[in-house]
C-alpha cells in the first residue's frame, strides 16, 4: 500500500518507519526533521532499532491513504491542507482526544474516516532520530462499525510490518477509553509535575486519579457511551506500565508548548454540558492547564 503520514513527529515517524519495511511511505512534517531523514534516513532506537528510508518529498503520485498523527488542535488545519494538496482520500486518525474523527468526517466525508488507538509510545530524540519506548496493540475501526476492504487492507498492511493491529466495530468506545485514561494521567501529572507512576505511589494523587476517572465515567454514562470496563483500574494499569514516563501533556508544558487540553478535558466538560451534568474536575483541570500554558515561572 501507499501511505502518507501527515504530522510525522515521534509517533508518526515510528509508524512511517515501520510501514516503510514493506510499503511506500511519504512523511509530511517539520522541514528540519524531514531533511535529516532525507540525508541520513530515519533512525529508530529502543524496542525497534534500525535505519528506515521513507520518502520525504512528494513526486506528485497518488497514495492510498493518510495516517494523521498531528496534535489534536491541528486536526482541522491538517485536514484542509491534505484535501487541498492530495485531494479526497481515506484517512486514519491516530491522534489523542475526542472529536478528531468528527472534524475529519466534515472535511472528507464519514465513509472515508477511520479512527485508531495505539499503545505504541515514541519520543523524539533529535531531527531524523526517534526512540520507540512502548509497544502493544493498535485498534482501528470505521465510525459506523463497518468493515470495508480499505480497513482490512490497512490492518493487514500494519500487521505485515510488525504493528499488531486488530479491527474493532467499536472504535468510538476505544477512543473514549483512551481519552479517559489521558484525562486522569495527563491532567494530574501536569498539575503535579510528576511521572505517571507517582499517581499510584502517593495516596493523595491516587485519590485524585479515582475522582477524575469517576467523573469521566459519569460523563460517558450521560452520553450513553458504554465503556464496558472499570476505567479506574484501566488507568492504574496504564500508569503502572508507563510509571517512568513523563506524560505527553506534561512534556508539552515543560517545553512551553500548547497542550491537547481542549481535546481532552475541554471535550469532556463540553459533553457534560450538552447532557446537563456538571464536570467540576475536568473544568478545573482544563482551566488550570490552560493557565499553565501561559504562566511565566518565577526565577
Ligand atoms: O499521553 C501520554 O503520555 C500517554 O497516552 C500515556 C498513556 C498517558 C502515557 O504517558
For the chain, domains (ranges, CATH) are 2-169 (3.40.50.720), 172-292 (1.10.1040.10)
What digits encode the pLDDT tens for the residues 189-206?
Answer: 999 999 999 999 999 999
pLDDT at 135: 86
pTM, 2 dp: 0.95
| Residue 153 known to be catalytic | no
What does R_g of the chain's alpha carbons equal in angstroms? 19
Confidence of residue 136 (pLDDT cuts 50, 70, 90): confident
Specify the residue with its C-alpha closest to ligand 1, atom 5: 182
pLDDT at 297 over 80: no
pLDDT (tens digit per residue) in 34-93: 999 999 999 999 999 999 999 999 999 999 999 999 999 999 999 999 999 999 999 999
Question: Cell numbers at residue 215, please?
Answer: 467523573
Catalytic residue among 178, 234, 255, 257: 178
242 in ligand 1 pocket by Cβ < 6 Å?
yes
Task: Tell me if 75 CB under 6 Å of ligand 1.
Answer: no
The CB of 171 under 6 Å from ligand 1? The reply is no
SS3 of the chain: helix, strand, coil, percent, to 5: 50, 15, 30
| Average of per-residue pLDDT across 96-119 | 96
**Distance linking the first and last C-alpha atoms of the chain:** 52
- CB of 179 sitting under 6 A from ligand 1: no
C-alpha to C-alpha distance for 3 and 86, rounded to whole angstroms = 12
The alpha carbon of 86 is separated from its chain's Cα centroid by a whole number of angstroms, namely: 23
Amino acid at each position: 500500500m501507499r501511505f502518507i503520514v501527515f504530522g510525522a513527529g515521534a509517533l508518526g515517524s515510528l509508524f512511517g518507519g515501520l510501514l516503510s519495511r514493506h510499503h511506500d511511505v511519504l512523511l509530511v512534517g517539520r522541514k528540519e526533521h524531514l531533511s535529516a531523514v532525507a540525508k541520513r534516513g530515519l533512525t529508530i532506537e529502543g524496542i525497534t532499532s534500525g535505519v528506515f528510508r521513507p520518502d520525504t518529498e512528494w513526486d506528485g503520485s497518488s497514495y492510498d491513504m493518510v495516517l494523521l498523527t498531528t496534535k489534536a488542535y491541528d486536526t482541522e488545519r491538517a485536514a484542509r491542507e491534505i484535501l487541498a494538496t492530495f485531494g479526497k482520500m481515506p484517512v486514519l486518525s491516530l491522534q489523542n482526544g475526542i472529536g478528531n474523527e468528527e472534524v475529519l468526517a466534515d472535511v472528507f466525508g464519514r465513509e472515508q474516516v477511520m479512527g485508531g488507538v495505539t499503545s505504541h509510545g515514541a519520543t523524539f530524540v533529535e531531527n531524523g532520530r526517534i526512540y520507540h519506548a512502548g509497544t502493544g496493540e493498535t485498534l482501528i475501526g470505521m465510525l459506523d462499525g463497518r468493515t470495508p476492504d480499505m480497513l482490512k487492507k490497512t490492518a493487514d498492511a500494519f500487521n505485515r510490518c510488525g504493528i499488531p493491529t486488530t479491527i474493532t466495530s467499536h472504535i468510538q468506545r476505544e477512543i473514549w477509553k483512551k481519552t479517559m485514561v489521558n484525562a486522569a494521567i495527563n491532567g494530574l501529572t501536569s498539575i503535579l509535575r510528576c511521572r505517571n507512576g507517582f499517581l499510584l505511589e502517593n495516596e493523595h494523587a491516587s485519590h485524585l486519579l479515582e475522582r477524575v476517572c469517576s467523573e469521566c465515567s459519569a460523563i460517558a454514562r450521560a452520553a450513553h457511551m458504554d465503556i464496558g470496563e472499570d476505567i479506574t483500574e484501566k488507568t492504574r494499569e496504564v500508569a503502572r506500565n508507563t510509571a517512568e514516563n513523563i506524560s505527553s501533556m506534561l512534556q508539552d508544558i515543560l517545553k512551553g508548548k500548547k497542550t491537547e487540553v481542549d481535546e481532552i478535558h475541554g471535550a469532556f466538560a463540553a459533553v457534560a454540558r450538552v447532557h446537563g451534568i456538571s464536570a467540576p474536575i475536568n473544568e478545573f483541570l482544563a482551566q488550570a492547564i490552560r493557565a499553565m500554558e501561559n504562566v511565566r515561572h518565577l526565577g
